[in-house]
Structure 1
Amino acid sequence: MRDIDRISGVLQSVRYFKNWQQDEIRELASLCTWVRFEPDTVMIHAQDPASALFLIVNGHVELSYTDEDGKVGVIDLLGDGQLVGECALAPQACYAVSVKTLDATTAIRIDGAAFSTFLSAHFDRALTMMSVVAERLCQMLRQTEELKCRSAAQRLGIYLLADAVPVGDAHETPLTIEKSALARKIGMTSETFSRALKKLSEHGVSQHSNGCIIRISDTEMLAEWCGLSNNENREEQSDGFKTAV
């Protein structure tokens, strides 16, 4: 199978491009290449000229910034099916954040200049990409709200509830990334994460399979403690937070 066929197949399966026409998908695929990165590899350096976007096919990446004092702050963690490097769609832009792989990562590299030219000729698809950028902004605003309004344990509880699936008479959430990375993702240190998990044990949360599976004995009780059940739109809030994290 040719690369363009493989890339087309991946593109049409992700939410950003799934409603595109087949000829549009193949035209976009012609602007793309496969790239593979080892763990702990910087894919994008903040302030470098933004030359390409990357669609994460398999793996996890960390978005971060460094302040004037050299302190690194984590903005987000992203995984399969997510786009990074949207700055490349703006003319002569620089990357706003750095992006580093957490594990072995396969991605599709989309040439920024060529993609911008493509979008200028496909107005409907340009609107799609504008919505992607707007959605990312909304996600960041929701994350900021959660950081300001809830305790560390509540934020962790909401994260666990968002991915929980019923197993027997309880719910379970698999942890697909290292706990230290998850802690950074939801805005806390590893030590704070451990304390938050211990606090959640008072509310029916326990660890299994060497900590890789988190079991929730009563999701309604945990949701109420996290401050979700007092809102009539609790399910919508949970879905929104799941999108954000």
Structure 2
Amino acid sequence: MKAQDWEIVRRSPLFEKLPDSTVWALVGTQSLAKYEKGVVLHHPGEATKSGFLILEGVVKLLCEGGSSSGALLAIHGPGSAFFVGEALAGSLSTTTAEAVTRTRVLVLDGERLRAALATDPKIARAMLAAAAVNLRQMIDQIEELKTRTAPVRLAKFVLGLSGALSGSDEVALPYEKQLIAERLGVTSVSLSRALRELAQHGVSTRGDKILIHDVVALRAFAT
């Protein structure tokens, strides 16, 4: 495992509360897998024998319904883990996992995870805490969809890409605008309209780049 991969693993909500030695015992000999853009990691109806932790790239989870490709449930980036609960339970997957970009993942074997949980309560507590974080994020996303306008949701999304607290910044869109629209719960037309409205708050676009001319002003608009 590369040094930068180890740093991503250690910062992951799944493992951040565990000692280095415990994490290494869990993941040090787990396998890595690479997927090109558009490749499906897991199909609905398949037995979930492993969870995944993203080291590089972006993965989307889809369920049946919505568009012909399915309804978007979640988008995961580096440090995010998914299908861990299903792997622990040995249950069938009800969702599709598809690589949005070229992606590398750490494959977390379900049997090894179950054995570790049975012998070390710290691991069980850490995974429960990570599950609680995921649940909180889902609740926050639903709350935003219900209570925030599309321009505000877009502003919060853009600010989430930026680490700046003040001044100006330029960020790259992490994936295609159509997927961003799905992530925000709007149509492509509504996304374009929201981008035009954000121009009044110091935001402009240049290809796949977003220019934030006044971070403080945009944060004020998003709150």
Tell me the TM-score normalized by structure 1: 0.79
Aligned mates of 1:221, 1:7 — CA distance in 2: 35
**Match of 2:221?**
225
Kindly tell me: are residues 13 and 139 of structure 1, through their superposed partners in 2, closer, same or farther at Cα, counting changes over 3 Å? closer
Alignment partner of 1:119 out of 112, 117, 120: 117
Question: CA-atom RMSD, angstroms?
Answer: 2.8
Structure 1 residues not aligned, in runs of 5+: 229-245
Equivalence map 1:12-161=2 (5 Å): 12=10, 14-29=12-27, 32-67=30-65, 72-161=70-159
Equivalence map 1:153-232=2 (5 Å): 153-166=151-164, 169-208=167-206, 210=207, 212-226=208-222, 228=223
Q: Which string of whole-angstrom CA distances, capped at 9 and with x for unpartnered residues, describes residues 172-211 of structure 1?
A: 3332222222222222222221121112112221113x2x
**Match of 1:232?**
none
Aligned mates of 2:219, 2:21 — CA distance in 1: 45
Q: Aligned residues, how many?
A: 223
Structure 2 residues not aligned, in runs of 5+: none
Kindly tell me: are residues 180 and 129 of structure 1, through their superposed partners in 2, closer, same or farther at Cα, counting changes over 3 Å? same
Letter in 2 for 1:161: L
Q: CA deviation at 1:4?
A: 10
Aligned mates of 2:169, 2:55 — CA distance in 1: 28
Letter in 2 for 1:225: F
Confirm or deny: 8 A CA contact 1:165 1:172 kept in the other structure: no
Confirm or deny: 8 A CA contact 1:31 1:114 kept in the other structure: no
Q: CA deviation at 1:154?
A: 1.4
Q: CA deviation at 1:55?
A: 0.7
Confirm or deny: 8 A CA contact 1:28 1:115 kept in the other structure: yes
Confirm or deny: 8 A CA contact 1:205 1:217 kept in the other structure: yes
